[in-house]
Amino acid sequence: MNYDHLAVFVNLAETLNFSRTALQMNLSQSAVSQTISSMEKELNFLLFYRTRKQVQLTKSGENFYASMKPMLNLYNKSVQKAQRIASARAEDLTIGYSGTPYEISMLPNIIKEYRQVKANNWPNIYLENFAHNSLKDHLLNGDCDLIFTMPDIVAKIANIHYTDLVEGKYYANFYGPKAASEAALPLTSLSNYRLIFLDSKWCPPSQNELQKAIVKENKHLNLVYSNNILNSHVMVQANLGVGIWANFVSDFADRQLHGIPLIYPVQPHYGIAMLEYGMTKAAKSLVTWLKNNYANFV
């Protein structure tokens, strides 16, 4: 039984006329009759007494109507209230990000340029900074309209639409004067360095798999774990170790940070996720614009 069936029943309980209910509900008379018959079969009791000249509610039908009418009214009021809220939120845009050095450096520029493009029609923009898993929850709960993320973080989650912006590579990241080095590093060579790994809360699944592969390929490793990507970056700046992260995590304007690509078959991706249903016009507009202009910010 669904809302439409209940609405037909309530209307017929008030009109006691199949023809009038059919007209008001924009249905055929036979469709109204079939709906009521289907409901009675499902409920296992009669809702109406029907004769050629008269339609009356049964005692069970009267009781059912008395219960359903307020529920349908509450449902309709709730929908109207939610629609008003959604309409107001259409002018707002809440962006979630994990706080990578790239995002901290470039997100202000992205927002400023987008506002210039939108001129007098730009939305109210708000920012939220959380770990990847928290961002995902905030998106699903409707607290964020869109989040910057990686596809493996939101994979296999219903009602999420992901837009890819860039394909990257995993790097070993050093800080300081650039020295001669290999064009790429095999995982087996990483035992020569003190490595900075991300802990599980902040670590995307693909990077977690990379970290496991590094451990597997090296008998002895000097490891330290960081609780977020920005802290990893600070540790690399302080020469406390070599950071392992994707190239799109780094601030491209930081000339002291030097990355060497790892010889590893998995190529990470970075983009934007938003809800498939419940997507705001403001979010869709930003994603469309950024997809066409992202290359200007890398």
Looking at residue 74, its amino acid is L
Q: pLDDT tens, 47-105?
A: 999 888 889 999 999 999 988 988 888 888 777 767 766 665 556 788 999 999 999 99
User: Does 72 share its domain with 118?
Assistant: no
Residue range 101-138, pLDDT digits in tens: 999 999 999 999 998 888 777 778 889 998 888 899 88
DSSP 170-193: EEEEEESS-----SSEEGGGGGGS
Predicted pLDDT at 182: 67
Query: What are 216-243's pLDDT values in tens digits?
Result: 999 899 999 998 888 999 999 999 999 9
Output the domain CATH number for residue 215.
3.40.190.10
Two tokens, residue 170:
């995993």
Number of structural domains found in the chain: 3
Q: What backbone phi and psi angles, to 5 degrees, belong to 59?
A: -60, -40
Q: What is the mean pLDDT of the chain?
A: 89
| Residue 297 binned pLDDT confidence (cut-offs 50, 70, 90) | confident
Query: Is the same domain home to 62 and 198?
Result: no
Are 141 and 284 contained in the same domain? yes
What ranges make up the beta strands (E) of 26-130? 48-50, 55-57, 92-97, 124-129
Q: How far apart are CA 128 and CA 69, in angstroms?
A: 42
pTM of structure? 0.68
pLDDT at 92: 78
For 273, counting Cβ atoms within 10 Å of its Cβ (0-12 exposed, 13-18 middle, 19+ buried), the class is buried
pLDDT tens-digit profile of 196-211? 999 877 788 999 999 9
User: Does 279 lie in the same domain as 156?
Assistant: yes
How far apart CA 50 and CA 39 sit, in angstroms, is 15
Task: Note whether 25 and 74 are same-domain residues.
Answer: yes
Average pLDDT over residues 15-26: 91
Q: Looking at the structure, tell me whether residues 28 and 79 fall in a common domain.
A: yes
| Tokens 């009675």 sit on residue | 40
**Kind and range of the H or E run holding 93:** strand 92-97
Domain with 75 in it: 3-88
Q: What is the average pLDDT across 156-182? A: 86
Domain shared by 175 and 192, yes or no? yes
Q: Are residues 182 and 139 both part of a single domain?
A: no
Q: Is 182 in the same domain as 64?
A: no
Is the predicted pLDDT of residue 151 greater than 60, yes or no?
A: yes
